[in-house]
A and B are shown apart, each in its own frame.
Chain A
Amino acid sequence: MGEAEEISQPPALSCRDLSVGYGSRIVLEGISLDIRAGFWTAVVGPNGSGKSTLLRTIAGLREPHSGSISLQGRYLSAWPRRERARRLAWLAQTPGATDLTASEVVALGRFAHGGWLAHRQAVDDAAMYRAMVATGSLSWARRRLSTLSGGERQRVHLARVLAVEAPVLLLDEPTTHLDPPHQEDIARLLREQAYGGGVCVVSAIHDLSLALTADRVIVLGQQGLIGHGTVREALDGDWLSAAFQTRVDIVDHDGVHLWRPAVPPARRSEGDQRV
């Protein structure tokens, strides 16, 4: 993709001078970001640095104290509700447990396309089917969500988000409750969405090693935004070290970046026989 061509389009998401907080407590201040389509961006940072708050605000679920957010070049508040929901899908960190079946949950992802009175169309079924196949949740289609394990539930919710077929996906910890192979599956899925579908994928990711397999990272620290750029820029600029108060170390293992504690864990000495 040529640089000029990329710049001629408005960014999928952009925010200017965003300040967000709960009551008088300011969580994020003066955040300006441009997030482009076709990339997977991972939001990383320690607990309480405002990853979820940032995603929620961009998703339009929290009013910012000040600043503006635009989706595809148009202010978030200027979009009609359902049109916005068709373009921007959000996955909560802990979606509720429900008595609905998996396919009923995924069908809710199609709400923005039909509205209250519409019946499910063939396109809706097709989108649901693709999303459930992609997340490997099709075999539980008729199971109740309350009878599924945490990881299975997470994949159903992910299928619900994919079924929206939105050009912007905001995912708050999509890999929680998943074992490492399934985490990798989700990461591959997000990359496919970004590269194949040209989707703007933004996800908060706790696991640093996984986050560093993304295209770009947004690094948040206790003091606010540390940086937004490619993984290379983040590594060269030591952003993660700054965010985690020098407690993490990134090692390059055959081109895969892995994190380890900066201070190696204490080991039991050879002669120590205590039980």
Chain B
Amino acid sequence: MSVLRPAVSIFGTGRSDAEMPHRLGTWVTCCLAITLLLTCGSLIIGTSSVETSLGWLLSPDAQSSVVLWQIRLPRTVGAWFAGALLGLSGAIAQGVFRNPLAEPYLLGTASGAALGVTLSLIAADASIGALAWTGKLGITGAACVGACAAIALTIGLSRGVLQTASLLLSGIVVAFLLGAVTSLLLLTKPDLWREMQVFLLGSTGFVSWSSATLLAAAFFVCAVPAVLLARGLDALTLGEETAQSLGLSLPMLRLTLLGVVSLGTATAVGQVGIVGFVGLVAPHLVRETLSVNHRQLLIGAALCGGALLQAADLLCRWIVRPAELPVGAVTAFVGGSYLTYLLWRRSRDG
């Protein structure tokens, strides 16, 4: 089976499908249950011991309630929404590009965001005026602006959204170009390297209630049009010309959905940095267990991505406690191992 074969899971095997509707319900329930468990887990796991956290939960005082409700809860809620945004964006990107290897950073968002953050840090370093300005915009704002600029550059470079191949190629070119600029800038300012590293490796450590709210808002703004347009992605699996002959406007569909992908990834990257693999793995996890249409896939990938990033967030706090691992490293490790497992199973099954 070719990697470029559209729509069908690259690792997929034939499944019977009569029982699918029931399985979808079970699956969604499982995802929500896992999310609930992880949320509870993240309340009691942190720099303090589990016993202490349990004690805090049972007999709260002023200090502990700040830790529980102002640090740990927003962090895990924010991680869920960021993961859900990445999972949703990944599923949309795979549908729009009709390629199961597509991922949300495909349009150059990640490198654009990195460059935005670098520039804002350098500017803040250089002048007081710029410091005030970047203070208003914030690291997350700079990341968002950078990501959007990168997408605009990608779409401009491929002159529109109609040519899939040239869009993908432009995305790669933009990612490399902006990455090179970022590296050059960081070479001239080695003291910024540490600050940048947190961002480049991804971190859920700085998610406050305000950024969790922002992520949640972006999630709903993205999810509503995506679910409404899911039928268009279904039609695209039959081929672009067939989709057009059904009365769909391909440019409208692509622009809207790529807009959703851009908004989703830009927001997620702005809040938690460059967290890799969630957007690629979440839709595959859904397709591995369910044969679904795009509406179900999008919802499933969002739920799955949310739970994944929440789990990764918990892991990165737990493995080396009281220290922390960058969450992006954990997702890359777990996601990479999972994809390797799928590839291994695929080659074993022939």
Interface pair B246/A109, CB less than 8 Å apart: yes
User: Which residues of chain A have C-beta atoms less than 8 A from B237's C-beta?
Assistant: 96, 98-100
Instruction: State the CA gap A100–B7 with chains docked (Å).
Output: 9
**Cβ-based interface call for A123 (8 A):** no
Question: Which B residues are CB-close (under 8 A) to A101?
Answer: 17, 293
What residues on B are CB-neighbors of A157 within 8 Å? 238
Q: How far is the CA of A111 from the CA of B253 in the complex (A)?
A: 14
Q: Any chain A CB within 8 A of the CB of B18?
A: yes
Cβ-defined partner of A92 (8 Å) among B15, B229, B235, B239: B239
Chain A CB within 10 Å, residue with most, of B228, B237, B293 = B237
Could you tell me the distance between the alpha carbons of A147 and B228 in the complex, rounded to whole angstroms? 27
Q: With A85-B245, A144-B17, A144-B291 given, is the CB distance from A96 to B239 under 8 Å?
A: yes
Cross-interface CB contact of A111 among B15, B239, B248, B287, cutoff 8 Å: B248
Complex alpha-carbon distance, A237 and B226, angstroms: 56
- With A100-B293, A104-B293, A144-B291 already in contact, the answer to whether A111 and B242 are too (CB < 8 A) is no
A92-B246 CB under 8 A given contacts A98-B7, A99-B291, A101-B17: no
Contact, CB under 8 Å: A99 / B8: yes
Q: How far is the CA of A81 from the CA of B246 in the complex (A)?
A: 9
CB–CB A90/B247 < 8 A: no
Task: Report chain A residues within 8 Å CB of B18.
Answer: 142
Complex-state Cα separation, A68 to B247, whole angstroms = 20
> Which residues A135-167 have CB closer than 8 A to chain B?
142-144, 146-147, 157
Q: What B residues does A84 contact at CB under 8 A?
A: 247
A-side contacts of B232, CB under 8 Å: 116
In the complex, which residues 84-130 of chain A have their Cβ closer than 8 Å to any Cβ of chain B? Answer: 84-86, 88-90, 92, 95-101, 104-105, 108-109, 111-112, 116-117
Q: A98-B7, A99-B9 are in contact. Are A89 and B245 (CB under 8 A)?
A: yes
Q: How far is the CB of A146 from chain B (nearest CB, A)?
A: 5
Verify A95–B238 contact, CB threshold 8 A.
yes
Q: Is the interface of B mostly helix, strand, loop or mixed?
A: loop
Q: Which secondary structure characterizes the binding site on chain A?
A: mixed
The reply to whether the CB of A82 lies closer than 8 angstroms to some CB of chain B is yes
Interface residues in B238-255 by Cβ distance below 8 A to A read 238-239, 241-242, 244-249
Instruction: Give the total of B residues in contact with A, Cβ under 8 Å.
Output: 31
The answer to whether A108 and B292 have CB atoms under 8 Å apart is no
Q: Which of B210-262 contact A (CB under 8 A)?
A: 228-229, 231-232, 234-235, 237-239, 241-242, 244-249
Q: Is A275 interfacial (CB 8 A cutoff)?
A: no
Residues of B within 8 A of A234 (CB): none
> Does any Cβ of A come within 8 Å of B5's Cβ?
yes
The reply to whether B234 and A104 contact each other, CB–CB distance below 8 Å, is yes
Minimal beta-carbon separation of A147 from chain B (angstroms): 6
Shortest Cβ distance from B173 into chain A, in angstroms? 24
**A263 in the interface (beta carbon within 8 A):** no
Contact check, A61 vs B241: say whether CB atoms are below 8 A apart: yes
* A98 and B245 contacting across the interface, CB-CB below 8 Å: no
In the complex, how many angstroms separate the beta carbon of A177 from the nearest chain B beta carbon?
A: 16
The docked-state distance in angstroms from the alpha carbon of A269 to that of B5 is: 48
- The chain A residue with its CB closest to the CB of B232 is A116
Contacts of B242 in A (CB 8 A): 90, 92, 95-96
Closest 9 CB pairs of A and B: A85-B247, A112-B247, A98-B237, A90-B245, A82-B247, A96-B239, A96-B238, A111-B246, A61-B241
Residues of chain A touching chain B, judged by Cβ–Cβ distance below 8 Å, are: 56, 59-61, 81-82, 84-86, 88-90, 92, 95-101, 104-105, 108-109, 111-112, 116-117, 142-144, 146-147, 157
8 example contacts (A-B, Cβ-Cβ < 8 A) are as follows: A61-B245, A85-B247, A92-B242, A92-B245, A99-B293, A108-B238, A108-B246, A142-B17
Q: Told that A60-B245, A98-B237 touch, could you supply 16 new A-B pairs with CB distance under 8 A?
A: A81-B248, A81-B249, A85-B246, A86-B247, A92-B241, A95-B238, A96-B242, A98-B234, A99-B292, A111-B247, A116-B229, A117-B228, A144-B17, A146-B14, A147-B14, A147-B17
